[in-house]
Structure 1
Amino acid sequence: MDIIRNKPVLYINLNGDLVALNPPLVMGILNVTPDSFYAGSRCRSEEAVALRAREIVEQGGTIIDIGAYSSRPQADDISQEEEIRRLSGALKIIRTMYPDVYISVDTFRADVARHCVEEFGVSMINDISGGELDNKMFDTVADLQIPYILMHMRGTPQIMQRYTDYDNIVADLLTYFSKKTDKLRLMGVNDIILDPGFGFSKTLDDNYLLMNRLSDFQTFELPLLSGISRKSMIYRFLGTSPEESLTGTTVLNTLSLLGGADILRVHDVREAVETVKIVTKTLTIG
């Protein structure tokens, strides 16, 4: 039993390794984009990619999550070819430095996912659209037999904030995940990680309500991912900026762990690793 989250210890299969999610894992963000919302996460040169990969690993991150398509509101659209080009260059560097590191690729395109898995041994796919933006994604993940991060979003990154009308956001997301996980399981996908999609198609109050009710999603008995790092739910609420949002991120990461999160997706790896250690120590001592 996982004492922290009061639920059975969960595992995911990463490149053939059965990895326990107790204590929770930290996933470090590496963006090969020119327009991600947090400037500090952008890696636009080979040297920057290498430096960021080393930082994530040395600070205790278990997974590197690499993305080449910015998902911020009103982000520029890029072609599939450009996404593959950006990812391939960075993945070559990471694989040369760390042949065995676990890598997640942040993409909603099935052909991009397949390329990264088959060419670079990527460990999991992180799909912000839950299969909605590419109807081949579920088939591809099932065929590749790779862990899949199923996130909730409405619309596309460019227009997602037009779709924030919910009768009951928690009930709506529970229904969404129920339908999607049933479909994925019938297709033979064994490792499914749920991500409520903080900041995607949600108002500020929606985000905080979901954080307050995160434990409701434990009903699926699947790993939960929380991705709130330096997001607008912090800096717009506090009247600051992404660059000034580390304290808020740490607070919300702590609440995420208490609510059942198994993976923290973050920009600030060392701080998240320390948060996991402190929360684990506090809740398991004695």
Structure 2
Amino acid sequence: MINPDAKPLLMGILNVTPDSFSDGGRYNSVSSALQQAEKMVAEGADILDIGGESTRPGSDPVDPAEQIRRVIPVITAIRSHLPKTVQLSIDTTSSEVAEAALEAGVNIINDVSAGNDDAAILALAAQADVPVILMHSLGAPKTMQDNPHYDDVVQEVLEALLLRVNTAQAVGIQADKIIIDPGIGFGKRKQDNLALLAHLEQLVGLGYMVLLGTSRKRFMGSICQVDNPAQLVTATAVTTALGVLSGVRIFRVHDVLENRQALEVAWAIKCSK
């Protein structure tokens, strides 16, 4: 169970995919995925988010059966080798994949479509009584960066997330099991991402736990004049510190050690007020 009043949590990204934007193909085998999982936990990850389908801009959907083939052996290995205190999340929009992952030992469902792609995933979360992450996205990954437009991105994202929250609660998901994510980089321009980061307190003000996922995102590369996503570790840590001070509860990151340091310092500052 995620405690909404305790220190914020770090969620380490474990992509079991050949085509993720930053680390695709690096953790395709069970042994390499397990090694990375152990490394992230040693560096301070509280949650591991395991995904078998890339949702980067321009990506194609992956059949649920293939996602299951990719993620279940990894989940099983992690549950066999790492402490049970490590929480596991399944990054999928498919209720079929989510159900298989829950049976294998996952604790959290992370749905970038917020239940829009497969409504059964919300009913599954309610039945299993597990936390569910509802992310905002403008369209499907394949086309979400094709000229996205907002008149007021902060207000529109808040309203869209509240609609999904209401849908989740209508099928029986309790408010304390709902985590909302503004979807940085998902159907958003640089100015949209910056506006959302500048107004995180409004998202937090909705009263639900908030997850922030900025790790190595392209909009920061355009600011820092960096093309290689792996060189955006410091930029990501800056947003983590900002998020802690704004009340964000979970940070989804590739680079755990550096973001753990940013989180700890920001948390100490926040607690000293």
Partner of 2:95: 110
Amino acid paired to 1:204: K
Contiguous gaps of at least 5 residues in structure 1: 1-12
The equivalences for 1:1-286 within 5 A come to 13=1, 19-39=3-23, 42-98=26-82, 100=84, 101-118=86-103, 120-162=104-146, 164-190=148-174, 191-240=177-226, 241-285=228-272
Aligned partners of 2:204 and 2:248 also within 8 Å: no
CA shift, 1:77, in A, is 2.7
Q: Select the structure with the greater relative contact order (CA < 8 A; seq sep ≥ 6).
A: 1
Q: TM-score, normalised by structure 2?
A: 0.94
Partner of 1:5: none
State the superposition RMSD in angstroms. 1.6
Contiguous gaps of at least 5 residues in structure 2: none
Amino acid paired to 1:218: V
Q: Can you list the C-alpha shifts for 1:178-214, whole angstroms capped at 9, x where unaligned?
A: 2211221222102000100000000011000000011
Rounded to whole Å, the distance in 2 between the matches of 1:62 and 1:39 is 20
Aligned partners of 2:93 and 2:112 also within 8 Å: yes
CA shift, 1:237, in A, is 2.4
Q: TM-score, normalised by structure 1?
A: 0.90
Moved more, 274-283 or 35-44: 35-44
Q: Secondary structure at the match of 1:162?
A: coil
> Structure 1 segments of 4 or more deviating over 3 A?
none
Q: Secondary structure at the match of 1:90?
A: helix
Rounded to whole Å, the distance in 1 between the matches of 2:90 and 2:216 is 20
Rounded to whole Å, the distance in 2 between the matches of 1:150 and 1:224 is 9
Amino acid paired to 2:207: E
Rounded to whole Å, the distance in 2 between the matches of 1:283 and 1:213 is 17
Q: Secondary structure at the match of 1:160?
A: coil
**CA, structure 1 residues 131+212, in 2 after alignment: closer, same or farther (shift >3 Å)?**
same
Moved more, 181-190 or 108-117: 181-190
Q: Can you list the C-alpha shifts for 1:223-250, whole angstroms capped at 9, x where unaligned?
A: 1100001110111222212021111111
Q: Can you list the C-alpha shifts for 1:34-87, whole angstroms capped at 9, x where unaligned?
A: 111113783022221111110111111110111110011112332111000001
Rounded to whole Å, the distance in 2 between the matches of 1:76 and 1:284 is 43
The alignment covers a number of residue pairs equal to: 269
